[in-house]
Amino acid sequence: MESLLAAAHLHPATFSPASLSSSSCSRSPSVARGVRSGGRTVRCAYTKDAILYALEHDAMFNSDEVIQWESGKTINTIAAAQGISIRRRCRPRYPSEGSGDDKAVPRDILEQIIWDKEVEVSQRKAKKPLRSVMESSEHAPPVRDFMGALTAAYNRNGVPALIAEIKKASPSRGVLRENFNPVEIAQAYEENGAACISILTDEKHFQGSFENLETVRNSGVKCPLLCKEFVIDAWQIYYARSKGADAILLIAAVLPDLDMKYMLRVCKSLGMTALIEVHDKRELDRVLKLDGVELIGINNRSLETFVLDTSNTRMLMEKRGDIIRDRGIMVVGESGLFTPDDVAYVQNAGVSSVLVGESLIKAEDPGRAIAGLFGKELMR
């Protein structure tokens, strides 16, 4: 829960105290002053009167997370109570560059990625502050209808709509495609029936970039674009929008409830779609308690171990499918989909869209591989 107080006076319409300051990840921020509001003293870091006013009049101010933070609990303690095992470090350099106590050992791949992402985002924000990124997002190309594209493709083809992914590498598989041209791949996907395109933007672990996202957006490709990023800060959402993203990934295994609420609000203010990814029942239940959720991704790959199990989709849909359908939420099947039988399996479980990367990107012709994945050519 970091960065969002800094946005309060810049964009009060989307403000929430869900994230406070980069120094608050592992400990409570230093007290700038105490201000009484709504019957309790507000513990603030580097705040202004306008921010305090926004706090007092924002429903999120009274959330359990903020009250716990005010009482002195750390961000990691608050997150752990929600079942989030990923610890936050907020160090100014990469963990491997430290020594002694400063040289941390991550528990798993996802925690390593998040720690590295904290450093990356901090460095990016220093070069391009939030105000600048927000202004850039206002001049980005118009947002395209991500949800509408998925719905239309599903109705048109009778099989799950395809979000085809562009990624060069992954931590578990290494380099997936040596001859990597994101524009050519995106054009091939679109020509062969992809409804939307997902673009990995993480550089350190997936060899992606925001430049790839921007280049594809400016190439003439008309499919709506999903920014596949490990989001820990609202800054990343504005930055993705400034580069032409129409949707962005939010990972429940990483983000506390209040962060997801706030980030959903930011997405709505920008006209973007949020794809919220879950891996287990506890994460799904947390997401289903949030307002404004339209798109949930069920990932069959454990982000901690990277082990695949496609039955995860069926299990979660059997437990919560009725609630999902009643709320009109679209479900995306993610990971472990390589054949028409795999696609049919998750469709029968209740999925109406799939996000597929590896089985397409490793093919000699990624576009033509789409027909092989579905067992037929998709109509555009």
Query: Which tokens is 14 given?
Result: 């989307």
**Lookup result for tokens 């002053």:** 33
How many angstroms separate the CA atoms of 366 and 359, rounded?
8
How many angstroms separate the CA atoms of 20 and 259, rounded?
10
Phi first, then psi, for residue 198 (nearest 5°) are -105, 135
CB-based contact 257:65 (threshold 8 Å): yes
**Catalytic amino acids?**
165, 167, 228, 277, 299, 334-335
CB-based contact 306:364 (threshold 8 Å): no
Name the DSSP letter for residue 144: P
| CA neighbor of 238 nearest in space, from 119, 125, 111 | 125
Query: Which tokens is 358 given?
Result: 């590896």
Q: Angle of helix 130-137 relative to helix 234-242, nearest 10 degrees? A: 40
Query: Which tokens is 101 given?
Result: 């106590």
How many angstroms separate the CA atoms of 251 and 260, rounded?
9
CB-based contact 209:201 (threshold 8 Å): yes
